[in-house]
Homo-oligomer: A and B are copies of this chain.
């Protein structure tokens, strides 16, 4: 028994001034029910991936999705949280319940409303996702700046590679109608510190940072003995979660050990290697994170992350296109939604439903979603069994 993805929904990501958190949950949920063509009465349970931590006043959001349909009343609904990997955490919880036999069909929603706060307020809320006993007052740009600084000290300045990653993801987002920023800003802009591209936390510039976003994404997952009823069916060849110590002081910043371990386990479970993947959606909360993921996923050796972008390996026409959606960098990063969004984007690619983003012949998709700085790590390898 395993869980299959049979439908999905995705709101636009961006500064959605007219949308409340509840609206986003309901819009994505309704879209997923509709896309799967499933009767809400057949949904056995609901999971919500949502970070919150003060971004919105709603402190207890699991039951909001029951508002989608009267048939959902009395269904179990549970919020799952693992910082910026809360969306994947919700998917993995639903998968456990389906594999246990308790649940035959699940609705999984990831959502976040971030722009209700100003940038300082968002930065402060997100900073709660670090180790307060040692890292209180350190912002996430500053945390990833420490990774970049340590990396540059060991391997040399890789600022231009980071700018290339940003430029690639911005260019990719042109093809994604759900993306927050659809503007090809270009390598030169990303590589130059300017009034419009200031240094946020040296060596990370504004273009090295992902966006502050509102948005939601949703999946319908069913037990495989029900999957035959649906037009689309996507299997988990692997779904591995690896958590690492929260304090940065206990981790080797260059090794990105938690992410590397998640990829290692996922490849082992799926019985394949990085060379078998058609594409990957990975967690580029900061460009340095995407560069470190190139190494963690085994695309290039330790210390050689820049080669992956400089030699075009991760471009649309490269051997492993990374973040065809535009990534967190340009698609946007409503934190609780991100993991679900990544799985939705992969499902779209694998079923030929990715529109202008579509990669011809996509067969195996990899999703890597991360909470904190390599603390909660989720690696899924997805494969379509049937496409509408």
Contacts and interface: CB of A to CB of B under 8 A. Distances in A.
A256 to B, nearest CB: 13
A242 to B, nearest CB: 5
Contacts of A20: 133
Interface in A241-275: 241-246, 257-258, 261
Contacts of A126: 59
Interface string A306-348: 0000000000000000000000000000000000000000000
Nearest to A101: B99
A382 B62 CA distance: 26
Contacts of A83: 59-60
A234 interface: no
Contacts of A93: 78, 80, 93, 96
Interface in A78-131: 78-83, 89, 92-93, 95-102, 125-130
Q: Is the interface of A mostly helix, strand, loop or mixed?
A: mixed
B62 A82 contact: yes
Nearest to A84: B60
A372 B376 CA distance: 28
Q: How large is the interface on A (under 10, 10 to 19, 20 to 34, 35 or more residues)?
A: 35 or more
Given A66-B243, A101-B99, A60 B82 contact: yes
A63 interface: yes
The oligomer's copy count stands at 2
- Residue from the set A59, A89, A127, A133 with the largest chain B CB neighbour count within 10 Å: A59
Contact of A80 (B73, B80, B99): B80
B375 A76 contact: no
A125 B59 contact: yes
Contact of A136 (B51, B57, B258): B57
A32 interface: no
Given A54-B54, A57-B136, A102-B96, A74 B375 contact: no
A8 to B, nearest CB: 22
B58 A261 contact: no
Contacts of A257: 74
Contacts of A98: 100
Interface string A124-144: 011111101100100000000
A127 to B, nearest CB: 8
B63 A246 contact: yes
A52 interface: yes
- Residue from the set A67, A95, A101, A132 with the largest chain B CB neighbour count within 10 Å: A132
